[in-house]
Structure 1
């Protein structure tokens, strides 16, 4: 049966804005009447307010902290760009949990055959692949922009973006789906990707280290640590990671590192702020506590495996003149290079090809110094005496330029 409404008569008073409001309201009331009468027949499969002054951003991440921080950094740059244009942004992060490894592959298979409009109305098919919490969190949102980081969640992000006709963005090169399927790919140069219209190539890992974030993080240093204790020299931030398949950090390495740092601090009359990570071995943690726990020049010591301190790395970087960072974490090195005047790491015994390429390019661009551990004190002393020009990593500006093409 077809129901024909009487002809719709437009109101024209000469007040354009008021006429638009009144006519649109009258038209919507006609829709409302029919929807209330036949709710089971109502389906709206595209965005009615796609050009509104509000945008919703959905960030999909896996369980890796580095991936979460990179995805949220892209969301931060996106929000900053849109707010400069007078568009308000609401952002939500969902940690995706698949039911099993096979579910990841099944999701990727669906993404491969997911055309621009072929996914509409198909989100329910993901119910068997995701945990109930993740599924409900995703389907309850209608995002304008979908951001992801991590190979397992990239196919899911593509499906969700096409269901909602959203802009899709991915951090790091996706391995289970093609990069050209996304509207924007933010890929670090060590992934050796060829530049293209939808790709922006960064030096390091995108991060949240903005002046505003560092100012806020600086205020988190506990009151009892704010006093300088009479020390007038530089502040060294020590960020220790942990062992990976390509990196090991022994007690002997740690002992030599401590000797180098303490020698420099005594000579330069400096202070040190220290944090380990959840990956740091118990033997190295114990060595750090013995060496810095009662050391008068140590103004902050954080052991995350014993007590979690929010934004401890950001707080340390915000106060530091020098950052000494173990070399296994690209994210941690990128954060330091984006916020501290001088960043130093040391040469590991072995590294994967991508990691070695990252360190070499960061060193060539003067974002990073890479001495051997026994030469670390000498390098710190030389930098403190010469104060060479500072090169600060700023990948966010590159991304913001790319957003002009996408949004």
Structure 2
């Protein structure tokens, strides 16, 4: 199977498409070609002209995979010129019917359709591990976002409460690119935490930590990290951030709490998670193979 993977340079989007590609590789013999794109109008021009020069020297695709708005017209232009089926890993800003398959998180509340596969959160590279859990607790922090405000003092207070409630736990803490430098400095001096900023980690470091952590605590702005922890099968709890109002993301988080998959902020006992660890990338790959790729 030939896959053209369109990337927009955003780490979260690339993790989604890479997660699907790796899941397909577990089912089929796959050759992957990565095509970087930009949201500069070249995709639309290529679609209108029925030409797509980035693919001229590549074998014709079976699948064209992308995540992020910048990939939309590139997926459509490449399919128009070279064939294959488009797989978009998000709710599109163009009509759903223009894509062969849209993989859409449940919290985006998309209308049911034959070409829509609804998932619990966005896809990721995490697989349920076979390794035993250790007695280390992992804390994953985000930072300010368009959905929430951020308060260093509030987060430090919650972390102190967490340590006090679970005194026998060893703690490892990591950050995101959004984590304020002021908070990072305070955490470096905190006696309870071994702090490993995201800038100092190897590409698979977080994957490895999620596979063995005895419990994981995630600031509730970090939705993708929350679903990665659930995919790893770890007990998960939330750290509160100030919301700017109700929206689809906060509704999705509240639904996870209501299901008992994650513990609410202030409850210092992590929830056990879903009955089976999430493995949405593999579920999506299985759907593609079973519906489209009879030779796999």
Q: Is the 8 A contact 2:20 2:123 kept in 1?
A: yes
Alignment match, 1:123: 52
Between the aligned partners of 2:152 and 2:241, the Cα distance in structure 1 is 14
Q: Is the 8 A contact 1:233 1:271 kept in 2?
A: no
What aligned pairs does 1:120-159 form with structure 2 within 5 A after superposition? 122-124=51-53, 135=54, 138-142=55-59, 143-159=61-77
Deviations 1:330-377 (A, max 9, x none): 211110111133111134321551111221232233322222xxx243
- Which stretch of the first structure deviates more once superposed, 197-206 or 387-396? 387-396
Tell me how large the CA RMSD over aligned residues is: 2.7
Mark the runs of 5 or more structure 1 residues left unpaired by the alignment. Answer: 1-54, 125-134, 219-231
State how many pairs are aligned: 290
Deviations 1:74-103 (A, max 9, x none): 22222223x2xxxx11123333235xxxx3
Between the aligned partners of 2:56 and 2:225, the Cα distance in structure 1 is 33
1:346 aligned to which of 239, 242, 250? 239
Q: How far does residue 308 in structure 1 lie from its aligned partner after superposition?
A: 3.9
Between the aligned partners of 2:117 and 2:276, the Cα distance in structure 1 is 21
Alignment match, 2:216: 323
Between the aligned partners of 1:308 and 1:234, the Cα distance in structure 2 is 21
TM-score w.r.t. the length of structure 1 is 0.65
Deviations 1:239-296 (A, max 9, x none): 1111112223322122212212221332xx221221111211011101111114xx4x
Q: How far does residue 144 in structure 1 lie from its aligned partner after superposition?
A: 2.3
Alignment match, 1:250: 151
Deviations 1:191-244 (A, max 9, x none): 111121111101111111114xx56xx8xxxxxxxxxxxxx9832110111111
Structure with bigger helix share is 1
Going from structure 1 to structure 2, the CA distance change for 1:233 and 1:264 (only over 3 Å counts) comes to: farther
What aligned pairs does 1:64-103 form with structure 2 within 5 A after superposition? 64-81=10-27, 83=28, 88-98=29-39, 103=40
Deviations 1:134-184 (A, max 9, x none): x4xx44322321100001111111211232211211100110x22212221
2:203 aligned to which of 298, 306, 310? 310
Between the aligned partners of 1:207 and 1:388, the Cα distance in structure 2 is 17
Alignment match, 1:355: 249
Between the aligned partners of 2:238 and 2:182, the Cα distance in structure 1 is 21
Between the aligned partners of 2:219 and 2:14, the Cα distance in structure 1 is 20
Going from structure 1 to structure 2, the CA distance change for 1:123 and 1:358 (only over 3 Å counts) comes to: same
Alignment match, 2:230: 337
Q: Is the 8 A contact 1:254 1:287 kept in 2?
A: no
Between the aligned partners of 2:155 and 2:240, the Cα distance in structure 1 is 14
Between the aligned partners of 1:59 and 1:170, the Cα distance in structure 2 is 10
Mark the runs of 5 or more structure 2 residues left unpaired by the alignment. Answer: none
2:102 aligned to which of 185, 207, 226? 185
Name the structure, 1 or 2, with higher relative contact order (CA <8 Å, separation 6+): 2
TM-score w.r.t. the length of structure 2 is 0.87
Alignment match, 2:184: 285
